[in-house]
Amino acid sequence: MMRGDVRMRPYSPEGIVCLRRIAVSLIIAAGLSSLVAGEDGNGAGSTAVRPRVVILSDCPPIDVIPGGAGYGPPEKRSDPDDVQSMIRLLLCANDLEIQGLVASSATMANVADKRGILDLLTLDDQVDENLRGRDARYPTAEQLRSVTWQGRSGTYGRPATEILGQGKDSEASEAIISLVDRADPRPVWFCVWGGSADLAQALWKVRGTRPPEEVQRFVRKNRIYLIALQDGSGRWLLDNFADLFIIVSERNYQGMFHDARGADAHLSDLAWLNGRLRKGHGLLGAVYPESGWNPKTPGVQEGDSPSFLHLAGAARGRNDPEKPDQPGWGGRFVRPDPARNHGTDDPAGPEVVWRWRAEVQADFALRADWMNDP
């Protein structure tokens, strides 16, 4: 063992100090590698307990038409950013245990149709074996199809009194109840990209049909991250369940937008997308929409992605998802009322999300490359 031109005995005081320095260097190097590639450097081998996740998305078809009302049939007019976020989600699926994909209704189309999700899973089926070559925890497309559930259409912008209650159950709301009721002690994280009516309906039914102690047990297993309040059910959840863990991002999610003020747009504009994802990365990469709602500003929109990046970043040691006041890939939140278990946007604004852009996009680009592995 050498330090400069001085030869040291391995177990001399100087030798021990040198060994410690080498060990620290190796640990730091391993940590940097795991940032984008998992604990063993290639995405495989992690034994961490993964969070149970359900996504509620107004995911449109892959030939979605940006621009909103007046541009094509309603079923093709929902926001393309849900397709963008769904593709990133599928590439992050090794760090999450996806237990439900719900077609909900929101934005311009106000149509819930699980066909949009299923069509993306057909493309995922072309690359999932390559992804599992990197990490065996990636689910098969068939596994995800089996937990894709239909929600209700027509709920966007309507008050809770019109979209919750008797006769408002759906395939999704019934499946949510069954999922939370499982013996699994882990909480279920609900990432709500569109309307929350199907989730709220599940809680409405449980509250009306079970004794208080069982309702409380059910409520305590829920973790909810809402991207805005897109129908009246979100406010209903906040008003009726003080103990329910809820994060509401009403503006800070905009830190994902490629043109967010203060952010480095070159890390997520259309040129970046074409070079790292949309060109030469198979069909799943190719269908990533060029823009969100506004085709005149192409690039990453993905306003819904912070909901699951809050968990994916935690898998990289960036935060404890149970503590929303900690900074992380999904943002940072404050708890304005200590009596209520609800977090709202940190006053710092969208910067709490875009400050992580270099890490988040490096992770995304690496995973996109995995789709091409032989």
How many domains does the chain fold into?
Answer: 2
Q: Is residue 31 part of a domain?
A: yes
Q: Is residue 298 part of a domain?
A: yes
Work out the burial of residue 295: count CB atoms within 10 Å of its CB; fewer than 13 is exposed, 13-18 middle, 19 or more buried. Answer: middle
Claim to verify: residue 8 and residue 93 sit in the same structural domain? no
Q: Is residue 40 part of a domain?
A: no
Q: Report which of 107, 201, 109, 108 is spatially closest to residue 149, judged by C-alpha positions.
A: 201
Claim to verify: residue 22 and residue 82 sit in the same structural domain? no
Question: Could you list the residue range(s) of the whole structural domain that residue 18 is in?
Answer: 1-35
Claim to verify: residue 8 and residue 140 sit in the same structural domain? no
Alpha-helical segments (H) within the chain: 13-37, 81-91, 115-124, 128-134, 141-145, 160-163, 171-181, 197-209, 212-219, 232-240, 270-273, 282-286, 306-315, 351-354, 357-370
Q: Are 206 and 179 in contact (CB under 8 A)?
A: no
- The residue ranges of the chain whose pLDDT is under 70 are 1-47, 68-70
Q: Is residue 44 part of a domain?
A: no
Work out the burial of residue 312: count CB atoms within 10 Å of its CB; fewer than 13 is exposed, 13-18 middle, 19 or more buried. Answer: buried
How far from the centroid of its chain's Cα atoms is residue 206's Cα? 26
Q: Is residue 247 part of a domain?
A: yes
Claim to verify: residue 74 and residue 28 sit in the same structural domain? no
Claim to verify: residue 88 and residue 24 sit in the same structural domain? no
Q: Are 310 and 329 in contact (CB under 8 A)?
A: yes
- At 6 the pLDDT is 30
